[in-house]
Amino acid sequence: MEALNDTLFLWINASDPSAAALLLGRVLSNGLIYLFPLYLALSWLRSDAAGREALLQATVSAAIAMLLSWAISKAWFHPRPFVVGLGHQYIPHAPTASFPSNHLSFAWAVCAGLALHPARRKAAWILALAALPIAWARIYMGIHFPLDMAGALLTGLVAAGIGLPLRGTLIPVLRRGIEPAYRLVFAWPIRLGWARA
């Protein structure tokens, strides 16, 4: 499996990239991930109760995924490609564990959490497609192996599965607890019709 992982990495990892390719790689590997929390935050402003619970489900799934990712990296440390001298590294990164990818664990968990709610399944698929170039870029730029991305997908799915029982218990309680503070802070946009109460 390690040999396949190394081969796939060397196939994707940039060997003589142009300046434009490096810029694209940097934007996709470190910038596109902000689409996920931005979607969650902006969607909250226009969502009804059911929609907000779907957004909270995705947020809880992402939090669980981050915890799982941390635990996996502590239980089994897998070095990054540049640590073992494989391929080329084009963006700075600490020599932390590579497996699973934190970026993609977060992204896939958001997608999986949203997919648990029928009204958000289309958004889940769109965001899942947006996660693919992040995965490619982090390999292309030399800071992750392909199997780190597969592990992140599994981590995200497991996290959403762990969070599923909270759908009818904790998630509605969270929504009811957050909404009064939200209505207070966003009273002006709500009055103007820019946000939903």
pLDDT computed for residue 119 by the predictor: 85
Kindly state the average pLDDT of the residues 59-88. 96
What's this model's pTM, rounded to 2 decimal places?
0.93
pLDDT computed for residue 99 by the predictor: 97
pLDDT computed for residue 28 by the predictor: 97
Instruction: Determine what percent of the chain is predicted with pLDDT higher than 70.
Output: 100
- What average pLDDT does the structure give for the chain? 96
pLDDT computed for residue 72 by the predictor: 97
Q: What is the pLDDT of residues 82-127, one digit of tens each?
A: 999 999 999 999 999 999 999 999 999 999 999 999 989 999 999 9
Kindly state the average pLDDT of the residues 40-46. 96
pLDDT computed for residue 63 by the predictor: 98
* Helix (H), strand (E), coil (C) string for 150-189: HHHHHHHHHHHHHHHHHHHCHHHHHHHHHHHHHHHHCHHH
From residue 21, how far is each of 29, 44, 76, 90, 186 by CA, in Å? Answer: 12, 35, 33, 11, 41
Q: What own/partner pairs with CB < 8 Å and gap ≥ 24 does 175-183 have?
A: 175/49, 175/52, 175/53, 175/56, 178/56, 179/52, 182/44
Kindly state the average pLDDT of the residues 123-145. 97
